[in-house]
Amino acid sequence: MWTGLWSYLRGEPATTIGSWKAESAEDWGPTLVARVLWEELGFPKRLEGSGKKQQCLSLGERAFVLVAHRLICPGSEHALGQWLETDYVSDWRGKRILPIWKENGRVRVDHRFL
């Protein structure tokens, strides 16, 4: 599914219409648009090689989540965890990024997933 969407957004002709399946576009649609703009502006290449290497996601991926949150749902960074629960935000592989809630009621986004 991701391959077809990326091809479509890049202006390539659709291969098969039968492979398209919308499950909840209102949740991840804005994030997909933000990701395309992020890549067209060249941020992944600019941030490549930066940050700690032991993280599962690169600095560029982590920065994308923060920037997309501000663009799509402007507000406090303290609302990031709630936003990640309601909107479909994925890494470059298409795996959803979810927050890990702490027992004391504060949210902590585990850097293994962000």
Summarised one tens digit per residue, pLDDT across range 45-91 is 888 776 665 556 778 888 898 999 999 888 788 888 888 888 888 87
Q: How confident is the model at residue 20 (pLDDT cuts 50, 70, 90)?
A: low
Specify the range with the lowest mean pLDDT, choosing from 11-15, 28-32, 85-89, 102-106.
102-106
> Residues with Cβ < 8 Å from 44, sequence gap 6 or more?
38, 58, 60, 92
Closest CA to 41 of 60, 69, 66: 60
SS3 101: strand
Phi first, then psi: what are they for 14, rounded to 5°?
Answer: -70, 140
pTM beyond 0.75, yes or no: no
CA distance 88 to 98: 9
